[in-house]
Every structure is written in C-alpha cells, then in structure tokens.
A and B are shown apart, each in its own frame.
Chain A
Amino acid sequence: MVSNAPGSPTLHNTAAMAVELTAITKRFGAFIANDGIDLAVRRGEIHAIIGENGAGKTTLMNILFGLLQPDEGSIRLNGEATDVTDPAAAIKAGLGMVHQHFKLVPSLSVADNVFLGMEIRRHGLIDHAAQIARTHELSKRFGLHVDPTERVGLLSVGIEQRIEILKVLVRGARTIILDEPTAVLTPQESRELFQTLRSFVAEGMTVIFISHHLEEVMEVSDTVTVLRNGKKVATRPTSELSKDELVRMMVGRDVSFARRPRAELQGEVILQVKDLWARDDRRLPALRNASFTVRAGEVVGIAGVAGNGQTELAEVLAGLRPASHGEAWLKGQNLTALSPAAIREAGLAHVPGDRMVRGVDGNATIAANTLMGRQHRAPWSRGGVLDWKAIGQNAGALIKRFDIRARGASDTVKRLSGGNIQKVVLAREFTNSADFLLIDQPTRGVDIGAQEAIHDEIMRQRAAGRAILLISVQLDELAALTDRILVMFNGRIMGEVAGDDADEDRIGMMMAGVSPQLEPA
C-alpha cells in the first residue's frame, strides 16, 4: 500500500486532463441538482469550483468521487473513461476527497488515524514506528504540521483537516478534492492550507477546491468554474477575471421577477440599528459597524454573497446571537439586551434562513408548528392549558389562506415540499401582528409558483404598514420587492441603492468589496 504514496512512481499517464466530466446530470426527485455539467480539470492546476449554496458543487464532486451515481453523463480520469461506481474505485484511480465533515477516531493517535484500514504491518502486528515516521515525513513535505503521536480527540478542527488531507495522500491520491475546506478554518489556518495546496501542484498533483468565498478563489486558484442553479456558467483562467465579474457570474443576471408596484407609505422608524458588531461561530468579527433604519411600510433589502455577515445580522436582531458591540432599537427597546422571547414580545416576526433547523420541527404537525412563539398567548392557551381544537382550526385557516398544499393541519411538516414548508413558516410569522418582519432567504429552494405567492404575501405585509428587512442572495428578488437595498461585504454595509434603481453592475461591485463612488448612506 505504501508504494502508492505520492511522489513514488505510479501509473504513468501523460494525458493533459486529470478529470473530464461530460454532460453530468443528477436529479433528486423533481429537483435537478446538476444539469448537463461539463468540467475539465488540467493536470497540475488548482481548479476552484464556486457557486452559491445549492448551486450543485458538492453534488458534482460526490459524483466524481463515486458517492453518487449520475443519471446521465460520463467521467474520464487521466484520459481514460472510468466508471466510478464507489469511492474505492475513485481512490484506485488516484482521486482523494476531503469532506466538509471529518471522519476521524478521536481516541486514536494522528498516525493511527492516517493509516486506519491500511496499517503498515510487521510480523503481523501494526508497525507504529513506521506509521509515525511516514506521517511525519509527509507532514513535513507538504507543510501539514501535525504531531503524529498526539490523540485526535485533543486537536483543533484545523489540525483535524490536515489529518484528513494526510489520509488522502497516504492512499496515493494525485488529484485531491476539497469541499469548502476553509469554512472551518481561521484566516491564518486558511493561508497555511493554501501553501499546502501550492506545494501539491508544485509536485505535479491536481487540486479541486470548492468554495463560495471570492477572495480565496482569487488568491489560490489557477482556473475557476462557476456553477449556478445546477448549471455551469463558465470556466475561466483566474487571472482573466475580476472579483465583480465573478460575483455577477455567481448570482446571475437572469431576472425572473418584475418589480412590484407600490404606494409610498413610509411611516415612523420601527428598527434602528447603530454601530452593530457581532462575531461568528469561530469568534471572528463577522458583522462590522452596521447602522441603518427600517420604517413602517418599507421593505429594506440586504444584498450580498452568502457568508458576508447577513446570517449574523439576522441572528443578532432575533436575539439568537449576542452583539459584541452596538445597539439595535425596536420601537424604543434595545434588542441586544433582550432574550428571543422578549424580542418577539417587542414586535419581531422572523422567517429564518435555515428553515429546516430554525423554522420548523419537521417531525411535528402543521398545527404544532404554527403554535411556536405564541404557546403562552390567548386564545391558543388559557391559564397555561392549550386549546388544541382552536390551534387546529387556526392552522386549517392558515393552510387555506396561504395555500399550503397539505392534507390537513395534522400533517407532519417534513412530508411537505420545500415551498410548502416555507409557507408554514410565513403563515405563522406573518399572522403574529408583529411590527417588524425579519425575512431571510424567503424563496431559497422554493419552486417558482410558490415564490410568486411568497412575494405577494410580503407585499401585502408592506401594504399593512409593517417594517420589513429582507435578506436575500437573489438580486432580482430584491429588485422586485424592496424600497432600498443595502449591500454587505465582509461584514460591512458597503453602500445603499434605491430599489427602483437597482443597477446590477453597481451592486455587483459592492458585493465584491469595491466601494461605491457615492457616499454610503
């Protein structure tokens, strides 16, 4: 097994292409995750695959690595047509994949994890000394600093990732796929990872790198392939691309929504955010110095490539994440000091971006899901006792009003389609008579018909005088619905444009981190 290690002579193949995917299509039910994608990766390059969440990046790589079988299309590895039936076949062909979620044994040492399943043996016993020496050698050669004798359970995520990469190397990979490798890393660790990736190509290996972070892609890759909604947009040399071109390819120009007509009815200020800062889960600043207001009867949009602080902003406003600095006033109450329940009491309704985790309990019925947040309020509850009959009747009425396609209020939510689950969330949140609606990615993963219905409902809420903050990665959605659009990049609000003047070039520049010529509002 050890003879397959990188650098040692393996199958000689002089084909220029390490990987060629032709017309790959993959469907999950009615949903098309990959739609006729062609991808050619040259030997010895760092090839980035970039796209928004749900663009089909991971699906494509899982097909390449044999974890999924394509419905259509073919795969050539090193110039030879290959049927990648399972990961074992992919590994045999010289592929290696580092997943987003690591699969290590915490109680074993680093070296034992690296060689798990292919232990070096001596007299029938595991030769720990040889495993440690080999791990040490590889880690030095590629700058993957680890102590081979340390136990994995004691190590940080960044080091766990290095171990995963070592595992792939030891199994003889010449083409290494990394799925969002930087998502769990600090900036310092990311820079070290990029060094390692460069040392791979310096040895003639090939790297495929999945990401949705522009900066990294611009920094480390030789070639970029952009995916959007399951389709390939383009493959281009990185040096020929600018950041805002890349952004525009990622988010797209296809306009599927017309701008909604509206009456001016701006009222009093409902939400006032002042110098708001917050940290992400890695304790790094993710929201920086945000200040803005939202008035009654106004839809304010937040544009930006996913992961630029929008999630943190939404979570701080909903009380689900502490602010590290600054204030957010909802009708005179400072949200940063309140619990989620108190913020709801103060007048927040929230359509969360992560619908299946935050927005519903998939195992519960529609009726039980419509109760969340008002289980202590009359008429659903009297003296702490629930009136399930009233709750069920109300859920039935909501199903009618929001056109939720379900058999009834006692249907389990996870049996519904994505669009109908989102309608359950909207039905609950929009009928709470809250003054401020925080709406995060309302139409992600929702079919076109349901998208229109959801937009109708948002406009109805605007007409009813609600203050609405709409976070979306879809520019056309923002252009259709909003009165003003704030653009976020790297945790900051880069600038503001009017909703009826949503110039995509200007927004794209700001999304890529280029400051607008005009003063930001």
Chain B
Amino acid sequence: MMSDRLRAFSGQIIAVSVALLMGAIIIILVGESPVHVLMTLLRGAFGDQEKIAGTLLQTTPILICGVAACIGLRGGMFNVGIEGQLFLGGFAAAWVGFTFSLPAGIHTLAALALAVVAGAAWVAIPAFFRARYNTNEVVSTILSNYIAVLLTSYLTIFLFKRPGGWSETPPILATAYLPEIFSFSRLNWGLFIGLLLAVGVALIFRYTSWGYGVTMVGSAPKFAEYGGVNVKRQGFVVLLLSGAVGGLAGGIETLGVHHRFMEGFAPGFGFDGLIAALLANGSPVATIVTALFFGALRSGSLLLEVDTSASREIITVIQALIILSVSAQVLIRRRGDSQAGERRWKF
C-alpha cells in the first residue's frame, strides 16, 4: 500500500509529465523539435554560471511568493492576492528607500519591514471579511490584485514619478540595497532569505503548538474547532502572515534587483509562486524545488527565441498545461471525497 505522501508525490510527477508531453506535441505542431527546444531551455537556464545565476534570480521571488501561498494553504486559506501584496510591498520598500536616509543595513531592514507591513495590511481587508462575514477569500483576494497593481501605478505616475520618461520612482539610496552575491549578476541575498524562510516556515508548522493548530484548521476544521482552536482567528492570522510574506517578496525584488519601483515591475511572480506551492502540495521545502523549476523555465525561455523558431510564449502555454493537469490530478485523487466535491460545486 502506497503512503499518502508518496501517492501525492507520484501524482504531481505524472501531472507535470503529462503537461510536458502535451507541450511537446504543441511544439511539434508549430514545426520545431521538442528535443531542440528542451536542450535550448536547459542551456538557457543552466548553460554557464551567469545563466545559473539568472535562473536563481528568477527563482527567488517565485520561491518567496510560494512560501506565502504555502502559509495560506496550510491554514486552509487560498491567498490568490500574493501578486497584489508583492506590488504593494515592492512600492513600500522603494518609498522607504528613496525617501529616508539611514545607515546601510538599517535602511534595508526598515524598507523590508515596511514591505512586510504593507503586504499584511493589504490582505487584512479580505481577511477581515472572511473572518467576520465568511466571504470567499479566493474571490476577494483576486480582486484585490487589480486594485493593488493600479494603485501602485497611480502612486508611481502621479505622486512619485522620477523626472524623465519612464513610469518609475526615483532610485533608492545605495544604503537600502540588498547585497549582491556575485559580481556578474544581480542575484542577491534575497535568495538566502527565501531559502531560510522556506525551511523556517516548514519547521514552525511542524514543531510549534501554533503550527499544529493551524495545520489542523487547514486539514480538519471541525476537529480543530472541537479541540479548542479558534478557527476564525487562525484563518485571519494565517492570511495576514501569508500577505506579509507576499509583501516581503516585493520588497526583496525592489531592494535586490530593480533598486526603484517600476510600473509592472514583477509580472506574474505572485501567481507563479501560488502554482509552485500547489505543485509542492503546500510544503514550503518542496516549493524550493518547484520554484526552481518555474524559475528555470522563465530564464531558459529568454534563449528560445534566439536559438529556435518557437516563440517564448510556448513557456506560458506549458505553464498553463501544468496548472490544468495538476488541478485535474488533485480532483481525480479526491474523487472519493464527495463533500469536497460538493463544496467546490456550491462555490
């Protein structure tokens, strides 16, 4: 008899394989060789040390957003608003970076702290309505994304625009930079923060009383309620923490990579993070692997248009196929759970 964990793992592997196979068929249909595309992708992602650093640079925000999603999933909350929290966190960090002048290190910490607060504050609205009125957090967090993206655009263009052509804020002071790891890449300490966060969150869920209660709220809410866990409060707290980490992801992206806030500065990292977390079954440590996978796809795709006749949009198609097959796989696995089916139906 296979253990549940093994079954879930093999299910994900099968789902990804099916998606890649379908991707290969599409590549053949557009008249390219799948093998050639795969080799180009691998070369683009891992070909030399600069490419590897580029892949890790893409991996960092996906990983941190993925950890944010994992926190929500553990407590049974679907935070689909990480993208918005990332934008607000990114803006908040930039604002601290170009407005204040503080000693190095302290400036970085202050900017990251405000990014965390901004992310948490942004999700606090849907979280409050969820806890108080049981509104569906999926819908409200999705909607909050649009407001966040447009709000930061507004702030950038109308209130804090740098003189000149681009829609971006003034650059942050060098004292607020996250240090870079190599001289040849913008890869920065954000990666270490992400790795520490993934391992730390996993340990907190496994080894603290609080983590135990939250995990039970996510997997068996009525049992948790019976055992004295305050289900509503923990749901609120979990969403808040998830949003805080989402904000942190934006802050790290601003302080480590762009050194300013630009309109549309981080397209899709929040959503990629959510997918990475789902693919990892909500395990923060497994999210390290899945985030790397998505980071490599993103970074490898840069070479696609140069070296092959396939468009780099093919990567978006493959990602979409992965989402579809992973969701299908989860549904098939829970087919026996009619209650889950009914919940989905009513939704």
Binds A, one of B23-31, B61-69, B206-214: B206-214
B228 near A361 (CB under 8 angstroms)? no
A320 at the interface (CB under 8 A from B): yes
Inter-chain contact A361/B4, CB cutoff 8 Å: no
Contact assessment for B228 and A373 in the assembled complex, using a CB-CB cutoff below 8 Å:
yes
Determine whether the beta carbon of A381 is less than 8 Å from that of B209: yes
Question: Is A352 a contact partner of B226 (Cβ separation < 8 A)?
Answer: yes
B4 contacts A412, C-beta separation under 8 Å: yes
* B227/A373 in contact, CB under 8 A: yes
Q: Write the chain A residue with the least CB distance to B1.
A: A415
Q: Measured between alpha carbons, how far is A344 from B228 in the docked complex, in Å?
A: 7
A359 to B226, CA, bound (A): 8
Interface: B220 (CB within 8 A): yes
Known: A372-B223, A375-B227. 20 other contacts (CB 8 A): A101-B342, A339-B228, A339-B230, A340-B225, A340-B226, A340-B228, A341-B230, A342-B228, A357-B223, A359-B226, A360-B223, A361-B216, A363-B219, A372-B226, A373-B228, A375-B212, A381-B209, A384-B208, A385-B207, A386-B209
Contacts of B208 in A (CB 8 A): 384-386
16 contacts between A and B (CB under 8 A): A320-B226, A344-B228, A352-B226, A354-B222, A359-B223, A363-B4, A363-B220, A371-B212, A373-B228, A375-B209, A375-B213, A375-B227, A381-B209, A386-B208, A386-B212, A412-B4
For the complex, give the distance between the alpha carbons of A342 and B230 in Å. 11
Decide: A320 near B225, CB < 8 A? Known: A376-B209, A386-B212.
yes
A357 to B209, CA, bound (A): 21
Top 9 nearest A-B pairs by Cβ distance? A341-B228, A361-B220, A372-B227, A375-B209, A373-B227, A381-B209, A358-B226, A340-B228, A375-B212
CB distance from B166 to the nearest CB of A (A): 44
The complex places the Cα of A339 from the Cα of B220 at a distance, in Å, of 18
Which residue on B lies nearest to A388, using beta carbons? B207
User: Considering only CB atoms, which chain A residue lies closest to B216 in the complex?
Assistant: A361
Is the CB of A171 closer than 8 A to any CB of chain B? Answer: no
Chain B contact residues, CB within 8 Å of chain A: 4, 206-213, 216, 219-220, 222-230, 338, 342, 346
Could you say which residues of chain B place their CB within 8 Å of the CB of A373?
Answer: 227-228
Bound CA span A358–B229, Å: 12
B4 smallest CB distance to A (angstroms): 7
Q: How far is the CA of A258 from the CA of B224 in the complex (A)?
A: 36
Does the CB pair A361–B209 fall under 8 Å?
A: no
Q: Mark A333-345, 1 if CB is under 8 A from B, else 0.
A: 0000001111110
A345 to B222, CA, bound (A): 19
Inter-chain contacts of A388 with B (CB < 8 A):
207
Bound Cα distance from A101 to B338, whole angstroms: 10
With an 8 A cutoff between CB atoms, is A512 at the interface? no
Name the A residues within 8 Å of B229 (CB-CB).
Answer: 341
Tell me the complex Cα distance, A372–B216, Å.
9
Whether a CB of chain B sits under 8 angstroms from the CB of A287 is: no
Chain A residues 344 to 382 lying within 8 A of chain B, measured CB to CB, are 344, 350, 352, 354, 357-364, 368, 371-373, 375-376, 381
Please tell me if A41 contacts chain B, counting CB pairs below 8 Å: no
Chain A's nearest CB lies how many Å from the CB of B82?
Answer: 26
Most buried by B among A339, A350, A375, A376: A375
Chain B residues within an 8 Å CB radius of A63? none
Contacts of A362 in B (CB 8 A): 220
- Give the distance in Å from the alpha carbon of A339 to the alpha carbon of B230 in the complex: 8
Give CA–CA (A388, B205) in the complex, Å.
12
B210 / chain A contacts, CB cutoff of 8 Å: 384
Q: Which of B208, B220, B222, B230 has the most CB of A within 10 A?
A: B220
In the complex, which of the residues B207, B208, B213, B226 has the most CB atoms of chain A within 10 Å of its own CB atom?
B226
A152 to chain B minimum Cβ distance, whole angstroms, is 12
With both chains docked as a complex, state the minimum distance between the C-beta of A300 and any C-beta of chain B, in angstroms: 22
- B21 CB to nearest A CB, Å: 31
Docked Cα-Cα span, A360 to B225, in Å, equals 11
Q: Across the interface, name the chain A residue whose C-beta is closest to B228.
A: A341
**Cβ–Cβ contact A350 & B226, under 8 A:** yes
A178: CB under 8 A from chain B?
no
Q: Select which of A358, A371, A412 is within 8 A of B222 by beta carbon.
A: A358
Instruction: Give A17 to B191 CA distance when docked, in angstroms.
Output: 75
A318 at interface by CB-CB < 8 Å: yes
- Write the nearest CB–CB distance from B204 to chain A, whole angstroms: 10
Q: Which residues of B contact A352 (CB under 8 A)?
A: 226
Q: How far is the CB of A318 from chain B (nearest CB, A)?
A: 7
Quick one: closest B residue to A352, CB to CB? Answer: B226
Residues of chain A contacted by B223 (CB below 8 angstroms): 357-361, 372
- Min CB gap A425→B, angstroms: 10
Complex: chain B residue closest to A369, CB-CB: B223
Chain B residues contacting A386 (CB-CB under 8 Å) are 206-209, 211-212
From residue B186, how far is it (CB to closest CB) to chain A in Å? Answer: 38
**B232, chain A: closest CB distance, angstroms:** 11
Residue of A nearest to B227 (CB): A372
Distance between Cα atoms of A95 and B213 in the complex (Å): 48
Chain B residue at smallest Cβ distance from A372: B227
A179 to B228: give the CA distance in the assembly, Å: 34
Cα–Cα distance between A465 and B10 once the two chains are bound (Å):
52
Q: How far is the CB of B6 from chain A (nearest CB, A)?
A: 12
Nearest A residue to B231, CB-CB? A340
Known: A363-B4, A372-B216. Contact between A318 and B226, CB under 8 A?
A: yes
A400 to chain B, nearest CB (A): 23
Complex contacts, A318 vs chain B, CB 8 Å: 226
For B230, what are the chain A residues with a Cβ–Cβ distance below 8 Å? Answer: 339, 341
> Do B219 and A364 touch across chains, with their CB atoms under 8 A apart?
yes
